[in-house]
Structure 1
Amino acid sequence: MQPARLTRMRLNPFHPGVRRDLHDYVGLHKTLMRLAGMPDSCPHPRREAGLLFRLETDHPTPLLYVQTKQPPLLDALPAGYGQARTLHLTPHLHTLQTGMRVHYRITACPSARIGNNPPPRHTAPGRPRTTPLHRGQVTGLYGPDALAWWQRRATQAGLHLDDVSMQPQPFHCRRDTPTNRHHTLTRFEGTATITDTPALTDAITTGIGRGQAYGAGLLSIAPTT
């Protein structure tokens, strides 16, 4: 089992760096990579650090959940950026058992590569597709396509979904490029039953799906009461 720490950070909405990062997930990723302290020579710094994050803005003040393999270097963040508390996830992961019912939450990046999957049927609300899709192209998924994507991924992650609610989430980026154009975020949450504990533990510690550098893939689990 990989070590994992989860940091819950209440952001300061008046901080200029926070205001900037809330409107640019690429910039937010760069800010959060300071927590990892990875050397410049590292070829895959985010992956080596195990850094995943989820931003939740439907609170009085924005909340940021950040997961890392090692204790985060909180002093590396700009002064006044936010108030943070870090917990070691290993004791929590050891409590997960097959057959346990849990609450789950994940902001994911449902997407498909054309040619490997059936062509998506749905587009973003109010944004009809104007260009054809080509083999090998990655495209975002919406509506029932996104739901079907999550159902497949949840099964692979050792969860049998009892219920699902889904809500599109904004993906803020100051610069539109072919690389980030498919980063369409959707929050999925509900209750589920654990069917494969090792698979679930791996999904929690390594993340699910694309867009993990931009606020997707962090799966949170809590027992139902």
Structure 2
Amino acid sequence: MFLTRFRVNTARPGSRRLLASPQAMHAAVMSAFPTLLPTAAPPQDAPRVLWRLDHTARAEVMLYVVSPDRPDLTHLVEQAGWPAAAAADPAEPGWQSRPYGPFLDRLAPGTRWAFRLTANPVHHIRRKDGEPTKRTAHITPLHQMGWLLQRQEQGGFRVLEKPEDRRLLPSGTTHSKQPHHGDRYELAVRDKRALAFDKSRSASPPAARKPHVSLVAVTFDGRLEVTDAELLRRALIQGIGKAKAYGCGLLTLASPDANW
């Protein structure tokens, strides 16, 4: 397994095209692996290629990729990086890849980490009796947090709770005495994005196309404690939730005092 970081040159036209289309970015990421067939889906329990865009500043965007094989991002450097700088220094091709296995092997129950996850929080609802259920996005930060908290056990981690003296409300509750996730946990939701795009590659004019994919993506920042190292390793290499092809599902860890 490898963890790769690529800084996007937001001033280039190719970057703007990739950043505007999760489908285009997915295709560019998958093109970094010459042995992978574009249409081949990995087995259910196998590691897969995951990616995420972090908007760390107004004009700074980082692409993170977790993959079974080491990627070759030469084409991304040419489209959305700094090709002249990369050519001038062969030791720095324009991205950084590191083996991920040694870090995964160090995970142990009881250790604490800062984490970041971009995900597609959804649930299934039925509007009328007898109708089939429909996948629907969680819209509010409170429900989005609840979606992640429901996945703690199966993900092998526990989101840390705030100390009492840092909570705005007693015991992290609302006035109705119901759990208030936003005040109780070391967890924040930011960068909510509603995405809609045409999944097909139709030659029809843009005005005639309809979005075939629509989803809501949000980024979670927080602190967690490892409860089951094997389950957490699985979450780190297989992703969490839906829409993994469109930049969702990649969970990364950092030192507990990291300032994302």
TM-score > 0.5, shorter chain as reference: yes
Question: 1:10, 1:70 → 2: CA distance?
Answer: 20
Equivalent in the alignment of 1:213 = 245
Equivalent in the alignment of 1:136 = 133
Question: 1:46, 1:199 → 2: CA distance?
Answer: 17
Q: Is the 8 A contact 1:210 1:216 kept in 2?
A: yes
Larger Rg: 2
Equivalent in the alignment of 2:50 = 52
Question: 2:36, 2:106 → 1: CA distance?
Answer: 34
Q: Is the 8 A contact 2:196 2:211 kept in 1?
A: no
Per the alignment, do residues 49 and 18 of structure 1 end up closer, same or farther by CA in structure 2, a change over 3 Å counting? farther
CA deviation profile, 1:118-151 (whole Å, cap 9, x unmatched): x8xxxxxxxxxxxxxx533111112222111100
Task: Please give the TM-score of this superposition, normalised by the length of structure 1.
Answer: 0.81
Question: 2:118, 2:3 → 1: CA distance?
Answer: 16
Per the alignment, do residues 114 and 39 of structure 1 end up closer, same or farther by CA in structure 2, a change over 3 Å counting? same
Correspondence 1:160 to 2:142: no
Equivalent in the alignment of 2:68 = 69
The within-5 A match list for 1:112-131 is 112-114=123-125
Structure 2: gaps of 5 or more residues: 82-93, 161-185, 199-209
1:193 paired residue among 221, 225, 231: 225
Question: 1:51, 1:205 → 2: CA distance?
Answer: 8
Equivalent in the alignment of 1:148 = 146
Q: Amino acid of the residue matched to residue 18 of structure 1?
A: S
Task: Please give the TM-score of this superposition, normalised by the length of structure 2.
Answer: 0.71
Q: Is the 8 A contact 1:22 1:28 kept in 2?
A: yes
Question: 1:107, 1:64 → 2: CA distance?
Answer: 12
Q: Is the 8 A contact 2:195 2:216 kept in 1?
A: no
How far is 1:215 from its partner?
0.6
Per the alignment, do residues 72 and 46 of structure 1 end up closer, same or farther by CA in structure 2, a change over 3 Å counting? farther
Secondary structure of 2:114's aligned partner: strand
Q: Is the 8 A contact 2:30 2:38 kept in 1?
A: no
Structure 1: gaps of 5 or more residues: 120-133
How far is 1:171 from its partner?
4.3
Give the count of matched residue pairs: 206
How far is 1:101 from its partner?
1.0
Per the alignment, do residues 111 and 91 of structure 1 end up closer, same or farther by CA in structure 2, a change over 3 Å counting? same
Equivalent in the alignment of 2:2 = 5
Correspondence 1:170 to 2:193: yes
Q: Is the 8 A contact 1:10 1:64 kept in 2?
A: yes
Tell me the percent identity. 27
Say which is worse superposed, 195-204 or 162-171, in terms of deviation.
Answer: 162-171
Equivalent in the alignment of 2:178 = none
Equivalent in the alignment of 1:126 = none
Question: 2:20, 2:147 → 1: CA distance?
Answer: 27
How far is 1:113 from its partner?
2.4
Question: 1:79, 1:46 → 2: CA distance?
Answer: 32
Secondary structure of 1:22's aligned partner: helix
Correspondence 1:105 to 2:103: no
CA deviation profile, 1:79-105 (whole Å, cap 9, x unmatched): 152231111111111111100111111
Q: Is the 8 A contact 2:197 2:211 kept in 1?
A: no
